[in-house]
Amino acid sequence: MPADTDQQLVEKALGGNRNAFDMLVLRHQNRVAAIVARIIRDPKETEDVCQEAFIKAYGALRLFRGESKFYTWLYRIAINTAKNHIVSRGRRPPARDIEINELENAEHTIFLGDIETPENTLNTEKLKRAIEDAIEALPSDLRTAFTLREFSGLSYEDITEIMDCPVGTVRSRIFRAREAIDNSIKELL
Protein backbone atom coordinates (compact mmCIF):
# COMPACT_ATOMS: atom_id res chain seq x y z
CA MET A 1 0.00 0.00 0.00
CA PRO A 2 1.63 3.30 -1.07
CA ALA A 3 2.21 5.97 1.54
CA ASP A 4 -0.12 8.95 1.61
CA THR A 5 1.09 12.11 -0.06
CA ASP A 6 1.63 15.23 2.03
CA GLN A 7 -1.59 16.70 0.62
CA GLN A 8 -3.57 13.59 1.60
CA LEU A 9 -2.11 13.72 5.11
CA VAL A 10 -3.01 17.42 5.40
CA GLU A 11 -6.59 16.64 4.36
CA LYS A 12 -6.79 13.79 6.89
CA ALA A 13 -5.37 16.03 9.63
CA LEU A 14 -7.91 18.72 8.81
CA GLY A 15 -10.59 16.03 8.98
CA GLY A 16 -9.64 15.24 12.57
CA ASN A 17 -7.12 12.42 12.11
CA ARG A 18 -4.46 13.23 14.73
CA ASN A 19 -2.05 10.61 13.40
CA ALA A 20 -1.93 12.24 9.96
CA PHE A 21 -0.12 15.33 11.25
CA ASP A 22 2.22 13.08 13.24
CA MET A 23 3.11 11.38 9.95
CA LEU A 24 3.89 14.77 8.40
CA VAL A 25 6.14 15.60 11.35
CA LEU A 26 7.97 12.28 11.05
CA ARG A 27 8.36 12.75 7.30
CA HIS A 28 9.84 16.25 7.52
CA GLN A 29 11.41 16.58 10.98
CA ASN A 30 15.00 15.82 9.96
CA ARG A 31 15.08 18.33 7.11
CA VAL A 32 13.33 20.97 9.21
CA ALA A 33 15.83 20.38 12.02
CA ALA A 34 18.74 20.72 9.58
CA ILE A 35 17.45 24.06 8.29
CA VAL A 36 16.71 25.38 11.78
CA ALA A 37 20.11 24.25 13.07
CA ARG A 38 21.87 26.14 10.27
CA ILE A 39 19.99 29.32 11.15
CA ILE A 40 20.12 29.37 14.95
CA ARG A 41 23.51 27.64 15.38
CA ASP A 42 22.71 26.35 18.85
CA PRO A 43 22.08 22.61 19.08
CA LYS A 44 20.46 23.01 22.51
CA GLU A 45 17.79 25.29 21.06
CA THR A 46 17.21 23.54 17.73
CA GLU A 47 14.77 20.99 19.09
CA ASP A 48 12.68 23.64 20.86
CA VAL A 49 12.55 25.85 17.76
CA CYS A 50 11.59 22.87 15.57
CA GLN A 51 8.84 21.93 17.98
CA GLU A 52 7.58 25.52 17.96
CA ALA A 53 7.62 25.52 14.15
CA PHE A 54 5.57 22.32 13.99
CA ILE A 55 3.11 23.69 16.55
CA LYS A 56 2.72 26.84 14.45
CA ALA A 57 2.25 24.74 11.32
CA TYR A 58 -0.41 22.64 13.02
CA GLY A 59 -2.20 25.77 14.21
CA ALA A 60 -2.08 27.25 10.71
CA LEU A 61 -2.86 24.04 8.83
CA ARG A 62 -6.28 25.37 7.79
CA LEU A 63 -4.45 28.22 6.02
CA PHE A 64 -2.49 25.81 3.82
CA ARG A 65 -4.25 26.09 0.48
CA GLY A 66 -2.25 23.49 -1.42
CA GLU A 67 -1.05 26.04 -3.96
CA SER A 68 2.53 25.15 -3.10
CA LYS A 69 4.12 21.97 -1.86
CA PHE A 70 3.49 21.28 1.82
CA TYR A 71 7.17 21.08 2.66
CA THR A 72 7.93 24.50 1.16
CA TRP A 73 5.10 25.96 3.24
CA LEU A 74 6.46 24.15 6.32
CA TYR A 75 10.04 25.28 5.66
CA ARG A 76 8.91 28.90 5.42
CA ILE A 77 7.28 28.56 8.84
CA ALA A 78 10.42 26.89 10.24
CA ILE A 79 12.75 29.57 8.82
CA ASN A 80 10.57 32.39 10.14
CA THR A 81 10.32 30.71 13.54
CA ALA A 82 14.11 30.35 13.70
CA LYS A 83 14.67 33.97 12.67
CA ASN A 84 12.13 35.17 15.23
CA HIS A 85 13.86 33.06 17.88
CA ILE A 86 17.18 34.75 17.13
CA VAL A 87 15.63 38.21 17.25
CA SER A 88 13.81 37.41 20.52
CA ARG A 89 17.14 36.47 22.06
CA GLY A 90 18.65 39.76 20.89
CA ARG A 91 21.63 38.04 19.40
CA ARG A 92 23.25 36.68 16.31
CA PRO A 93 23.76 32.94 16.05
CA PRO A 94 26.84 31.77 17.98
CA ALA A 95 29.80 30.73 15.87
CA ARG A 96 30.75 27.08 16.06
CA ASP A 97 32.59 24.57 13.96
CA ILE A 98 30.44 22.16 12.01
CA GLU A 99 31.08 19.37 9.58
CA ILE A 100 30.45 20.42 6.00
CA ASN A 101 30.17 17.05 4.31
CA GLU A 102 29.26 18.63 1.00
CA LEU A 103 32.74 20.13 0.68
CA GLU A 104 34.57 16.86 0.94
CA ASN A 105 35.50 15.04 -2.23
CA ALA A 106 32.65 12.64 -3.00
CA GLU A 107 34.90 10.27 -4.91
CA HIS A 108 36.99 7.78 -2.99
CA THR A 109 40.13 8.36 -5.05
CA ILE A 110 43.11 9.11 -2.84
CA PHE A 111 45.55 11.75 -3.99
CA LEU A 112 48.83 12.52 -2.28
CA GLY A 113 47.41 15.81 -0.95
CA ASP A 114 44.45 13.94 0.56
CA ILE A 115 46.51 11.73 2.84
CA GLU A 116 45.66 12.46 6.47
CA THR A 117 48.56 14.38 7.93
CA PRO A 118 48.49 16.90 10.76
CA GLU A 119 49.20 19.69 8.26
CA ASN A 120 46.41 18.60 5.89
CA THR A 121 44.01 18.19 8.81
CA LEU A 122 44.84 21.68 10.05
CA ASN A 123 44.42 23.16 6.57
CA THR A 124 41.08 21.40 6.14
CA GLU A 125 39.87 22.68 9.49
CA LYS A 126 41.00 26.22 8.61
CA LEU A 127 39.14 26.02 5.32
CA LYS A 128 35.98 24.68 6.99
CA ARG A 129 36.14 27.47 9.59
CA ALA A 130 36.70 30.09 6.89
CA ILE A 131 33.74 28.80 4.87
CA GLU A 132 31.51 28.71 7.95
CA ASP A 133 32.59 32.25 8.89
CA ALA A 134 31.93 33.43 5.34
CA ILE A 135 28.44 31.89 5.40
CA GLU A 136 27.81 33.43 8.81
CA ALA A 137 28.83 36.87 7.54
CA LEU A 138 26.30 36.78 4.68
CA PRO A 139 23.19 38.93 4.96
CA SER A 140 20.19 36.91 6.14
CA ASP A 141 18.44 36.65 2.75
CA LEU A 142 21.62 35.50 0.98
CA ARG A 143 22.45 33.02 3.75
CA THR A 144 18.93 31.56 3.70
CA ALA A 145 18.85 31.14 -0.09
CA PHE A 146 22.36 29.65 -0.12
CA THR A 147 21.61 27.26 2.74
CA LEU A 148 18.37 26.03 1.19
CA ARG A 149 20.11 25.39 -2.13
CA GLU A 150 23.49 24.03 -1.03
CA PHE A 151 22.72 22.23 2.23
CA SER A 152 19.08 21.24 1.75
CA GLY A 153 19.35 20.63 -2.00
CA LEU A 154 16.10 22.41 -2.82
CA SER A 155 15.27 23.56 -6.33
CA TYR A 156 15.16 27.24 -7.24
CA GLU A 157 11.39 26.96 -7.57
CA ASP A 158 11.02 25.51 -4.06
CA ILE A 159 13.27 28.23 -2.63
CA THR A 160 11.15 30.81 -4.47
CA GLU A 161 8.05 29.51 -2.68
CA ILE A 162 9.76 29.36 0.71
CA MET A 163 11.31 32.83 0.49
CA ASP A 164 8.29 34.33 -1.29
CA CYS A 165 10.29 36.10 -3.98
CA PRO A 166 10.85 35.72 -7.76
CA VAL A 167 13.15 32.99 -9.07
CA GLY A 168 15.49 35.62 -10.50
CA THR A 169 15.94 37.07 -7.02
CA VAL A 170 16.71 33.61 -5.62
CA ARG A 171 19.29 32.96 -8.36
CA SER A 172 20.86 36.37 -7.74
CA ARG A 173 21.04 35.80 -3.97
CA ILE A 174 22.66 32.39 -4.40
CA PHE A 175 25.13 33.76 -6.95
CA ARG A 176 26.05 36.69 -4.68
CA ALA A 177 26.41 34.34 -1.69
CA ARG A 178 28.72 32.00 -3.62
CA GLU A 179 30.75 34.95 -4.86
CA ALA A 180 31.13 36.37 -1.34
CA ILE A 181 32.18 32.99 0.04
CA ASP A 182 34.67 32.47 -2.81
CA ASN A 183 36.19 35.89 -2.16
CA SER A 184 36.48 35.14 1.55
CA ILE A 185 38.32 31.85 1.12
CA LYS A 186 40.40 32.37 -2.02
CA GLU A 187 43.57 33.10 -0.01
CA LEU A 188 43.29 29.69 1.67
CA LEU A 189 43.03 27.96 -1.67
71 lies in the same domain as 115: no
Q: How far is CA 11 from the centre of its chain?
A: 26
Residue by residue, pLDDT tens for the chain (189 residues) are 567 898 999 999 999 888 999 999 999 999 999 889 888 888 889 999 999 999 999 999 999 888 888 999 999 999 999 999 988 887 544 343 333 333 233 333 333 344 455 665 666 778 788 888 888 899 999 999 999 988 888 899 999 999 999 999 999 999 999 999 888 888 776
Q: Is the whole-model pTM more than 0.85?
A: no
Q: Let me know: does 13 contact 24? Beta carbons within 8 Å.
A: yes
116 lies in the same domain as 185: yes
- Domain hosting residue 175, numbered range: 97-189
Q: What is the CATH number of the domain that holds 169?
A: 1.10.10.10
Domain boundary among 94, 111, 138: 94
86 lies in the same domain as 153: no
38 lies in the same domain as 119: no
- What burial letters (b/e) apply to 103-134, b meaning 16+ CB within 10 Å? eeeeeeeeeeeeeeeeeeeeeeeeebbbbbeb
Domain boundary among 94, 122, 148: 94
For residues 120 and 38, give the distance between their C-alpha atoms in angstroms, rounded to a whole number.
26
138 lies in the same domain as 70: no
Q: Let me know: does 70 contact 10? Beta carbons within 8 Å.
A: yes
154 burial via Cβ count (<10 Å: 0-12, 13-18, 19+): buried
73 lies in the same domain as 142: no
Domain boundary among 94, 123, 158: 94
Residue in 75, 82, 126 with CA at minimum distance from that of residue 103: 126
89 lies in the same domain as 103: no
Q: How many structural domains is the chain composed of?
A: 2
121 lies in the same domain as 184: yes
Q: What is the CATH number of the domain that holds 51?
A: 1.10.1740.10
